[in-house]
């Protein structure tokens, strides 16, 4: 008796085919459902703003250069660390990280200054926040100028 004439084999093959069809249909449904969730996702504006700001600070601070060139953090000459590279075409990792921190400091100052406008009915708190924001911006500016002065002094 051949296997094609055996009724149990045909029923088993039909069951296997049915199970495979269900799994493929279920998989395509799962993929379609996941795609729809990805397309219709609505992240918060705060999350988008933070991500864009972080990426901007990374780019402005020289993060792409750091990834591609993999510079040293600093060099030590006679036991004294040097964080600024003498050539204008290159930089150390320490310079880049310091610049990113300064840009973040300035951004935080701008945000605190903006938040101070929300306290119009509490003038003391609004003034303190405005003062702190302005100090953060000024500190960031002074530090960035300091980096440039070190670079140009070589």
CA 109 to chain centre: 20
Q: How confident is the model at residue 77 (pLDDT cuts 50, 70, 90)?
A: confident
Q: What's the pLDDT band for 13 if we cut at 50, 70, 90?
A: low
- pTM beyond 0.85: the answer is no
**pLDDT tens digits for 109-139?**
999 999 999 988 999 999 999 999 999 999 9
Q: What confidence tens digit (pLDDT) does each residue in 20-54 have?
A: 777 667 767 778 878 888 888 888 898 999 999 99
**Domain chopping of the chain, boundaries:** 1-41, 45-153
| Burial zone of 139 (CB within 10 Å; 0-12 exposed, 13-18 middle, 19+ buried) | middle
């Amino acid at each position: 008796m051949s296997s094609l004439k055996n009724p149990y084999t045909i029923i088993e093959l039909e069951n296997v085919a049915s199970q495979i069809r269900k799994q493929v249909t279920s998989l395509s449904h799962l993929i379609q459902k996941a795609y729809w969730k990805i397309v219709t996702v609505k992240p918060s504006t705060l999350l988008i703003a933070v991500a864009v700001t972080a990426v901007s600070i990374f780019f402005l601070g020289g993060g792409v250069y750091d990834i591609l060139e993999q510079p040293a953090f600093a060099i030590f000459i006679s036991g004294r660390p040097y964080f600024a590279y003498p050539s204008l075409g290159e930089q150390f990792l320490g310079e880049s990280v310091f610049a990113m921190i300064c840009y973040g400091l300035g951004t935080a100052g701008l945000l605190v200054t903006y938040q101070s406008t929300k306290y119009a009915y509490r003038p003391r708190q609004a003034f303190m926040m405005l003062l702190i924001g302005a100090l953060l911006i000024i500190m960031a500016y002074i530090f960035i100028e300091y980096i440039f002065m070190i670079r140009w002094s070589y």
